[in-house]
Amino acid sequence: MIIEFFNYALNGALLGLLYSLVAMGFVVIYRASKVFNMAVGEMLVVGAFLVWWAVQSRGMHPAVGIGVALAISVLIGLAIERLLFRRLIGESVFSMIMVTIGLLILMRGLVLLIWGPQERQFPAIIPLAPLIFGELIVPRSLAAGGIIAVVCAAGLHWFFNRSRAGLAMSAVAEDHQIALAMGISVRRSIAFAWALGGVLSVITSMVYLSGKSLTFLSSEIGFAALPVALLAGLESIGGLLLAGIIVGVVQGLTAAYIDPLIGGNAAAVVPYVFMLVVLIVRPTGMFGWKRIERV
């Protein structure tokens, strides 16, 4: 009994780390451009299709294929900045959100036009055999995902909080006009944000989909990761790991113990209830910046 509980909790925590890796897509773009990117899930699907196309369809060696996919997704990120967000610097929150939603729909349409709605077998980049520690069973891709999430979080945390370039980007996330006045290039910061978002989406897609089937509907993980980003606070990268683990464990335990009782799928909705509570009680999340508004 107790070992089962630990198994559910551990798997939930690792799934939560995967969520936090996805949520990093929100936070990285927000931390460097003050744009809340609703299209994270679609970017992940595009990254996944690029990897699939390079490795499975073109038959490249995985290392080469992943390199090609990374390069193309960086180019897509730069194109998004050039075509859309360069014109929106200093615009209202509503336009920013709606443009990313438009981007979401547009990317979904383009994925459907280019690759169609069929299911595709994603290459098993991370071996499928689960890791077994005594009685604990852990899928290898989730374990690798956990490690990658921690490494990425540490690297990005250092970059945004310690390095000169990262701090300049944090200024962009505070206020576009003030950043411009301080001599920081808002355009370059936004371009970097979307390129980094592209790289992260390729990495995340490999962790999430390795050995699974890929369709355009895989993007739903983007909305599943929203509560994690909000619980952490949109500006905190380190906090994402903790928030991911909390949401993942709660979700895992709900799926294991509460769903059989009510005979429904409560686990899917628990993160959103969490999100609503966080939004109402503490909109800035656990580690977000506090904004003071004066008239």
Task: Give residue 28's identity as a one-letter amino acid code.
Answer: V
Contact call for residue 280 and other proteins (CB under 8 A): yes
Stretch that binds other proteins, among 46-54, 60-68, 138-146, 274-282 (CB under 8 A): 274-282
Contact call for residue 272 and other proteins (CB under 8 A): yes
Applying CB under 8 A, which of residues 63, 90, 95, 136 lies at the interface with other proteins? Answer: 95
- How many chain residues are in contact with other proteins, going by CB under 8 A? 44
Applying CB under 8 A, which of residues 78, 150, 180, 275 lies at the interface with other proteins? Answer: 275
For residue 132, what are the β-bridge partners? 137
Applying CB under 8 A, which of residues 87, 147, 165, 178 lies at the interface with other proteins? Answer: 87
Applying CB under 8 A, which of residues 98, 147, 154, 165 lies at the interface with other proteins? Answer: 98
Q: What gap in Å lies between CA 229 and CA 251, rounded to an integer?
A: 15
Q: Classify residue 160 by its DSSP letter.
A: H
Q: What gap in Å lies between CA 175 and CA 59, rounded to an integer?
A: 46
Contact call for residue 112 and other proteins (CB under 8 A): yes
**Burial class of residue 260 (count of CB atoms within 10 Å of its CB; 0-12, 13-18, 19+):** exposed
Q: Judged by CB, which is closer to other proteins: 29, or 55?
A: 29
DSSP state letters, 168-227: HHHHHHH-HHHHHHTT--HHHHHHHHHHHHHHHHHHHHHHHHTTSEE-GGGGGHHHHTHH
Among positions 220-249, residues that touch other proteins (CB under 8 A) are 223, 226, 230
CB of 124 to other proteins, least distance (A): 27
Q: Judged by CB, which is closer to other proteins: 113, or 132?
A: 113
Q: Judged by CB, which is closer to other proteins: 9, or 97?
A: 97
Q: Judged by CB, which is closer to other proteins: 57, or 95?
A: 95
Please report, for residues 17, 104, 112, 179, 231, the alpha-carbon distance to residue 290 in angstroms, rounded to integers and kept in the order given: 25, 29, 41, 18, 14
Q: What tokens does 19 get?
A: 């969520």
Contact call for residue 260 and other proteins (CB under 8 A): no
For residue 36, what are the β-bridge partners? none
Neighbours of 7 (CB within 10 A): 16
State residue 120 phi and psi, 5-degree precision.
-125, 145
Q: Judged by CB, which is closer to other proteins: 58, or 87?
A: 87
Contact call for residue 217 and other proteins (CB under 8 A): no
**Which residues contribute to the site for other proteins (CB under 8 A)?**
36, 84, 87-88, 91, 93-99, 101-110, 112-113, 116-117, 223, 226, 230, 262, 264-266, 268-269, 272-273, 275-276, 279-280, 283, 293, 295
